[in-house]
């Protein structure tokens, strides 16, 4: 009986205890486990290595709940919080990282218990009436959205948490503040969203303002899933994105897909970009682009890791129309590198603007009054900021003046390495002829070293020089022009470069004609000039045209400068300064006929490039001095002839006129020496 008495209470205890526990669990589940608020805060704080709190704050935000914390554990973890706060790391200048009001959070037990170390925390859903985020990334890459052991991460180890991934997120009103040192980005914005990571329809809508690389920034964004884009998972799905940016006067529209916004950025899509200068757009991206006028560009872009690839379908800079395909790599601890091909139907040199020392529209940028050569410093970006290897393939290059023909086509190879810019393998068709050569700028010093080596052959002068005449009149000049130019100099502008230039220029003119009126005007033959005006002009065959110019310290001195026709021989001597832009030339004519009104006196060309002063020499017997001066040019002409490369056999035959002139001058008797007063430093009497 006693044993039965003891078994009866034990039986009831064994039956009643589970019922009691279930009742307690039911009550706690119904009440929301309020006593677990502090343990939950401590547990989450340990898991995130970051203070987490459900306590009511002092920001005065309105809420819809009475209890600050309600937790439910059946079927998963579900809790509703009046306010959820997650702090930023201690190094952050702003606290907290996140504050969410009227929050409803749902997690599955398997995601919570089976989470691998280092994997993101999977959250089934999070809904908040109001969400405020303050995100920061330092220059060393440490980011406030990276959860885990900061000391371990600083030593190069993987963080315990790279982030939190959401299955669904709904925010009625969101506020965002971002400070990103690597991107030089400061942003404040507002957004609303209702999305899942797999959503295909735009669910995120946001606007923001701030500064990017010091420029004012405005942005608007529509995305299929903001949080999928923020995910660090390797298999994170791409997110459809429509982005509009305006940074100062520049603007960008992007329509495509992106992922890993806060880590290893990946994106692909189409873009439209426009701005006041290519240099202004390239500078924030680390691209060395020339300073230009206003431009617009459309194309496709793809980016992953340190690699960018873009196809430019159309780029308009002023009147220029360009296209191309480029790869850009900006690897850590390495100089950025650009590789690609620049092509297009048309490039106006003047559209490069200050980069080539001109103002918009092609006018030379000259600051000093009375000067002609551009003296404005080249506004090129730093040549050391990037290396490049770009093929150039242009259908047409306009020089910017209506007096010279366009180059069509133009090919070249641009290389930029360690501050040295070279355009090599330059090959262009110009006025039915050909120009080849090399241009180089060494920008490693404050005053750049410049080099130019150009060779031309077969340039048709009547096409090369656009000199308009009345209908029915022959061109002023015809024939083929060729030669070689070699220059070296230093400077920050065209004027400085030419003022220090050393080198030479050798030119030859074959199979040509020249206006008879020009020849008679140069010889001041009044009678024949009046006759030509009455009868009409006619071309004179050019038997020899040659120039051998020596340049030293910016001073150009002709060793040979002459044109020989059946009517007269015209030649010039003297000097001109590229530094001071002053002229000291004397042009002379030896007639081969008789005219009663011919003055036949040397023509002095003095003054400056902008204001030349042309006068006749007043000394008597000038005509007798011409043969003497021509004979003085015999040796330089004889030395020049073997160096002339006319480019083809027919042109070499055409040089027979220069050889004949050389033989004729050699056969002339030399007059007794006398002062001619016609040297480079002569003064007019």
What does the pLDDT look like over 561-618, one tens digit per residue? 888 877 677 788 899 998 888 989 888 777 665 444 344 567 778 888 778 776 666 5
Task: Give 78 or 668, the one with higher predicted confidence.
Answer: 78
Average pLDDT over residues 39-46: 84
Using the predicted structure, report yes or no on whether residue 4 has a pLDDT greater than 90.
Answer: no
Average pLDDT over residues 267-292: 78
- The CA radius of gyration of the chain, in Å to the nearest whole number, is 41
What is the per-residue pLDDT for 528?
46
- Residue 393 contacts by C-beta under 8 Å, 6 or more apart in sequence? 341, 342, 343, 409, 411
The answer as to whether 245 is a domain residue is no
The answer as to whether 656 is a domain residue is yes
Q: What is the pLDDT of residues 320-332, one digit of tens each?
A: 999 999 999 988 7
Q: Are residues 410 and 456 in the same domain?
A: no
Average pLDDT over residues 439-458: 89
Q: Are residues 463 and 557 in the same domain?
A: yes
For residue 494, the SS3 value is helix
What is the per-residue pLDDT for 145?
79
Average pLDDT over residues 314-319: 90
Q: Are residues 403 and 543 in the same domain?
A: no
The boundaries of the domain holding residue 363 are: 298-418
Asked if 550 contacts 568 with a C-beta cutoff of 8 angstroms, the reply is no
Q: Are residues 517 and 652 in the same domain?
A: yes
The answer as to whether 138 is a domain residue is yes
Q: Are residues 645 and 514 in the same domain?
A: yes
Q: Are residues 403 and 506 in the same domain?
A: no
Report how far residue 271's alpha carbon sits from residue 322's, in angstroms, rounded to the nearest whole number: 16
The answer as to whether 289 is a domain residue is no
Mean pLDDT for the chain? 76
Asked if 110 contacts 70 with a C-beta cutoff of 8 angstroms, the reply is no
For residue 648, the SS3 value is coil
In total, how many domains does the chain have? 3
- Residue 443 contacts by C-beta under 8 Å, 6 or more apart in sequence? 380, 382, 383, 384, 419, 420, 421
The answer as to whether 679 is a domain residue is no
Q: Are residues 497 and 642 in the same domain?
A: yes
Q: What is the pLDDT of residues 74-93, one digit of tens each?
A: 888 887 888 888 899 888 88
The answer as to whether 570 is a domain residue is yes
Q: Are residues 475 and 387 in the same domain?
A: no
Report how far residue 608's alpha carbon sits from residue 577's, in angstroms, rounded to the nearest whole number: 9
Using the predicted structure, report yes or no on whether residue 418 has a pLDDT greater than 70.
Answer: yes
Q: Are residues 412 and 514 in the same domain?
A: no
Q: Are residues 359 and 462 in the same domain?
A: no
Q: Of 368, 394, 418, which residue sits at a domain end?
A: 418
Average pLDDT over residues 429-446: 90
Task: Give 654 or 250, the one with higher predicted confidence.
Answer: 250
Measure Cα distances from 578 to 252, 507, 542, 607, 637 in Å.
44, 19, 29, 13, 24
Q: Are residues 396 and 464 in the same domain?
A: no
The answer as to whether 440 is a domain residue is no
The closest alpha carbon to 459, from 415, 505, 408, belongs to 408
Asked if 121 contacts 47 with a C-beta cutoff of 8 angstroms, the reply is yes
Average pLDDT over residues 121-147: 84
For residue 544, the SS3 value is strand
Region label for 614, one of left (φ > 0), alpha (ψ between -120 and 50) or beta (otherwise): beta
Average pLDDT over residues 495-505: 90
Q: Of 418, 433, 462, which residue sits at a domain end?
A: 418
Q: Are residues 387 and 513 in the same domain?
A: no
The answer as to whether 595 is a domain residue is yes
Average pLDDT over residues 186-195: 83
Highest mean pLDDT out of 151-155, 158-162, 168-172, 415-419: 415-419
For residue 94, the SS3 value is coil
Average pLDDT over residues 185-203: 71
For residue 567, the SS3 value is coil
Q: Of 373, 397, 418, which residue sits at a domain end?
A: 418
What is the per-residue pLDDT for 24?
76
Q: What percent of the chain has pLDDT over 90?
A: 20
């Amino acid at each position: 009986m006693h044993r039965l008495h003891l078994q009866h209470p034990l039986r009831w205890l064994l039956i009643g205890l589970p019922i009691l526990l279930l009742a307690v669990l039911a009550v706690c589940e119904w009440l929301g486990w309020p006593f677990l608020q502090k343990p939950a805060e401590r547990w989450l704080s340990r898991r995130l290595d970051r203070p987490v709190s459900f306590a009511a704050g002092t920001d005065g935000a309105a809420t819809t709940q009475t209890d600050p914390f309600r937790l439910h554990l059946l079927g998963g973890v579900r809790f509703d919080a009046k306010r959820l706060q997650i702090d930023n790391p201690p190094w952050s200048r702003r606290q907290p990282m996140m504050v969410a009001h009227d929050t409803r959070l749902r997690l599955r037990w398997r995601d919570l218990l089976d989470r691998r170390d280092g994997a993101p925390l999977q959250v089934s859903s999070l809904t908040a009436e109001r969400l405020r985020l303050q995100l920061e990334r330092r220059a060393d890459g440490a980011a406030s959205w990276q959860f885990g052991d900061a000391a371990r991460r600083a030593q190069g180890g993987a963080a315990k948490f790279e982030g939190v991934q959401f299955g669904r997120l709904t925010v009625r009103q969101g506020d965002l503040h971002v400070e990103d040192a690597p991107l030089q980005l400061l942003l404040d914005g507002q957004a609303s969203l209702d999305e899942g990571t797999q959503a295909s329809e735009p669910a995120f809508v946001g606007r923001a303002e701030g500064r990017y690389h010091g420029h004012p920034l405005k942005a608007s964004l529509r995305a299929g899933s903001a949080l999928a884009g923020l995910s660090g998972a390797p298999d994170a799905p791409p997110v459809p994105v429509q982005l509009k940016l305006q940074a100062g006067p520049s603007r960008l529209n992007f329509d495509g897909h992106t992922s890993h916004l806060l880590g290893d950025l990946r994106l692909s899509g189409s873009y439209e970009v426009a701005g006041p200068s290519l240099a202004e757009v390239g500078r924030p991206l680390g691209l060395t682009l020339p300073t230009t006028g206003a431009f617009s560009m459309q194309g496709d872009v793809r980016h992953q890791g340190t690699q960018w690839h873009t196809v430019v379908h159309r780029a308009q800079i002023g009147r220029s129309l360009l296209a191309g395909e480029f790869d850009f790599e900006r690897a850590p601890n390495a100089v950025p590198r650009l590789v690609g091909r620049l092509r297009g139907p048309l490039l106006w040199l003047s559209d490069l603007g200050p980069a080539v020392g001109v103002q918009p529209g092609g006018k030379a940028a000259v600051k000093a009054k009375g000067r002609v050569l551009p003296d404005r410093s080249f506004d090129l970006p730093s040549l050391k900021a990037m290396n490049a290897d770009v093929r150039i393939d242009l259908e047409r290059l306009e020089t910017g003046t209506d007096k010279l023909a366009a180059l069509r086509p133009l090919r070249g190879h641009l290389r930029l390495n360690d501050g040295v810019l070279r355009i090599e393998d330059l090959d262009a068709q110009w006025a039915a002829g050909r120009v080849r050569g090399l241009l180089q700028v060494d920008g490693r010093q404050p005053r750049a070293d410049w080099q130019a080596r150009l060779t031309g052959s077969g340039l048709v002068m009547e096409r090369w020089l656009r000199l308009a005449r009345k209908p029915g009149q022959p061109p002023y000049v015809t024939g083929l022009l060729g030669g070689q130019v070699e220059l070296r100099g230093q400077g920050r502008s065209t004027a400085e470069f030419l003022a220090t230039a050393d080198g030479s220029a050798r030119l030859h003119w074959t199979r040509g004609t020249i206006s008879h009126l020009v020849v008679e005007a140069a010889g001041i033959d009044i009678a024949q000039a009046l006759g030509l005006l009455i009868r009409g002009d006619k071309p004179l065959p050019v038997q020899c045209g040659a120039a051998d110019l020596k340049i030293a310290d910016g001073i150009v001195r002709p060793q040979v400068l002459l044109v020989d026709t059946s009517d007269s021989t015209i030649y010039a001597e003297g000097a001109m300064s590229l530094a001071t832009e002053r002229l000291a030339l004397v042009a002379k004519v030896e007639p081969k006929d008789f005219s009663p009104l011919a003055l036949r006196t040397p023509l002095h060309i003095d003054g400056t490039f902008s204001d030349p002063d042309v006068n006749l020499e007043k000394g008597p017997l000038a005509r007798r001095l011409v043969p003497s001066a021509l004979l003085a040019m015999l040796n330089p002409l004889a030395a020049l002839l073997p160096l002339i490369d006319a480019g083809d056999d027919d042109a070499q035959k055409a040089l027979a006129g220069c050889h004949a002139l050389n033989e004729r001058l050699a056969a002339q008797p030399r007059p007794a020496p006398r002062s001619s007063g016609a040297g480079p430093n002569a003064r007019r009497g």
